[in-house]
Amino acid sequence: MLLIPAIDLQDGKCVRLRRGDMKDATVFSDDPVAVARQWQDMGAQRLHVVDLDGAIAGYPQHVRLISQIAEACPDLEIEVGGGIRDEDAIETYLDAGVRYVILGTKAVNAPHFVADVCLEFPGHIIVGLDAREGKVAIDGWSKLSQHDVVDMARKFERDGVAAIVFTDIGRDGMMDGVNIEATVKLCQAIATPVIASGGVTDLADIEAICHAADEGIEGVIIGRALYEKTLDLAEALAFVAARDA
């Protein structure tokens, strides 16, 4: 079970949103590189980075900053999402030291694109399915599509994605607990690893996710709980290590 700290970038700062609302952002640090080093030093193996400005603009806005994070944190596998909508953006990030790129809006609006880039960049493509009431949201969560989450996940599995990040927007940044039922439902529908996201509050949530790990949950992304200190990353990593021993 991977515990994946999240860094959301807005105007060069580390922020957290509530329910994906760009106008409801809390700034937690002016130095995202230092924050990434902190999670690396605590023992994290992977880092989830979202370019919020890129998600709105439709193209990457923080390549240089993310490259600095990758250089400063060689022990972290970095996955990046937000505004990645063409092959050039993918290649730029991979050249900058990023391990995985996460496709969201582009994957939903142009599904053939996922198949193409999975062939071009095998093992590096993750699709993020951000859902509200079972439907996929796009454009920085500002619009709700008519696409069903499970149907889209099955399609992307056939394309060969490395994993799917599943976010319940209604819980993201709210610290209301992970929507394990919906996450498990998705896991049961596909064989591709699923990374849960949205709602982690404390160690009890980590325990609950671990209980569902056998259903296909590969990891969980943790955001606000780390920044508001309702969850200690080192403690959570120790719990997972003891459970997996």
Q: Give me the active site residues, please.
A: 8, 130
Q: Locate 68 and state its tokens.
A: 């600095």
Half-sphere exposure of 84 (CA within 13 A, CB side): 31
215 alpha-carbon distance from chain centroid: 19
Q: How far apart are CA 167 and CA 198, in angstroms?
A: 5
Q: How far apart are CA 86 and CA 50, in angstroms?
A: 16
Q: Tell whether the torsion through CA atoms of 168, 206, 100 and 69 is positive or negative.
A: positive
| N residues, the chain | 245
Q: Are strands 2-10 and 13-18 parallel, antiparallel or unpaired?
A: antiparallel
Q: How far apart are CA 241 and CA 238, in angstroms?
A: 5
First to last CA, the chain: 12
Task: Count the Cβ atoms, other than its own, within 10 Å of residue 239.
Answer: 17
For Cα atoms 1, 160, 70, give the angle at the middle one, nearest 5 degrees: 55
Q: Locate 33 and state its tokens.
A: 């590189």
Residue whose token pair is 């023992």 = 43
